[in-house]
Structure 1
Amino acid sequence: MENHNRNKIRKALGDTPVVTPGIPDKYEFMQPQLVALLKERLPRYADWLRMIMMIAMVVIIIVIFVIIFVIIVGADVGVMGAMAAMMVPMV
């Protein structure tokens, strides 16, 4: 985390401790090297990190599903129609 961002957060949180693992901002989201560094430097947060990773993957899968559904079904009915079609049970 950059110093100016850390200082802003510390100012906003007051006495609440701010954990900064000192990892440079050169990694992509969920890059394996970044995840390994986070697990190494923040072991007490490993379960929390694993949960966040799983949630992120589920959200990505849902977004991909919706995009594919909108492309397939939504071509004729539009995006809102496709979203509504997803919520109507198949009979």
Structure 2
Amino acid sequence: MRKIAVVVAVVLAYEIWLDVQASGKVADDVGQVRNERGRYSADVEIKFAPERYHVLELQKHGRIAGTDGNVVHLRGVSPAGTEALARKYWIRRISAPTG
């Protein structure tokens, strides 16, 4: 029984940590310019060069429009997609596209 309690405590702590660290990742200007479906573009900065796994995960939340180093440009992102992406530990920052 103690082992189960420890596992539950660890999982809860991890989920809380994901929520706390996600709150500071999304820039204030993300989602200000939306299309008719309420979706928008976002630049996702990853802590390292994106690999196939990361690109596939990002594609679940938007269309890949290109990459620049550690930044992946997404189009058609929803607010729920932004929240889900911010919870990924390997994502450093989500911002509105520049230019």
Tell me if both proteins adopt one fold, taking TM over 0.5 as the criterion.
no
Q: Normalised by the size of structure 1, how large is the TM-score?
A: 0.36
Q: Normalised by the size of structure 2, how large is the TM-score?
A: 0.34
As a proportion of its length, which structure holds more strand? 2
Bigger Rg over Cα: 1
As a proportion of its length, which structure holds more helix? 1
Structure with larger RCO (C-alpha < 8 A, sep 6+): 2
